[in-house]
């Protein structure tokens, strides 16, 4: 599979990085990809402030143990992505769970303590979290350059 073969892409990101994720999502959309992005926001973020292809998960969408409620999981699992891109810096049990159960054919993430669930990890060690836009651009560069057998 190469970049041209990717049709559906799912992105996980930290809500604080929204403005830095937008250029990546816009470029993927411009390339004809079907993109859906997921984030978790504990409080104070209104989901309707985001475009329709951004999903904001709030505490009311989670169970007592911070797992997604059934309706949310049905929506998440009902999107059979070709690629999952995990751009989360902040460790959270919800994010780890979404990566683990993702129906995506391939999973790409930033350097993480637990690489078990990923097919490709982009090493961003030495880079600051504030450089998320640069990191997202690096992910896109690798995607366009990579050929997976």
Residue-range domains of the chain with CATH: 3-145 (3.40.50)
Sorting pLDDT into bands at 50, 70 and 90, what band is 120? confident
CA distances (Å), origin 8, targets 27, 39, 103: 14, 17, 11
DSSP assignment of 10-62, as one string? Answer: EEE--GGGHHHHHHHHHHHHHTT-EEEEEEE--SS--GGGS-TTEEEE-GGGB
pLDDT score at 135: 75
Taking each helix axis as running N to C, give the angle between helix 18-30 and helix 132-145, from 0 to 180 degrees, rounded to the nearest 10.
30
- pTM (2 decimals)? 0.87
The model's pLDDT over 58-116, given as tens digits with 9 standing for 90+, comes to 888 999 888 899 999 999 999 989 999 998 887 788 888 999 999 999 998 886 666 77
* Angle at alpha carbon of residue 3, lines to 149 and 28, rounded to 5°: 150
pLDDT higher than 70, residue 3: yes
CB 139 within 8 Å of CB 87: yes
pLDDT score at 109: 86
pLDDT score at 149: 54
pLDDT higher than 90, residue 125: no
Give the Cα separation of 39 and 89 in Å (integer).
12
CB 97 within 8 Å of CB 118: no
pLDDT higher than 70, residue 51: yes
More confident residue, 5 or 1: 5
Sorting pLDDT into bands at 50, 70 and 90, what band is 48? low
């Amino acid at each position: 599979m190469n970049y041209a073969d990717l049709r559906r892409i799912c992105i996980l990101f930290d809500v604080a990085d929204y403005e830095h994720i937008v250029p990546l999502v816009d470029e993927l959309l411009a390339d004809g990809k079907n993109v859906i992005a997921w984030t978790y926001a504990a409080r104070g973020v209104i989901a309707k402030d985001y475009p329709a292809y951004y999903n904001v998960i709030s505490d009311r969408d989670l169970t007592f143990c911070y797992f997604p409620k059934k309706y949310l999981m049905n929506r998440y699992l009902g999107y059979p992505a070709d690629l999952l891109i995990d751009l989360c810096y902040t460790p959270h049990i919800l994010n780890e769970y979404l990566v683990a159960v993702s129906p995506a054919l391939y999973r790409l993430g930033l350097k993480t303590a637990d690489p078990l669930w990923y097919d490709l990890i982009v090493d961003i060690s030495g880079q600051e979290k504030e450089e998320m836009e640069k990191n997202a651009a690096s992910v896109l560069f690798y995607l366009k350059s990579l050929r997976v057998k």
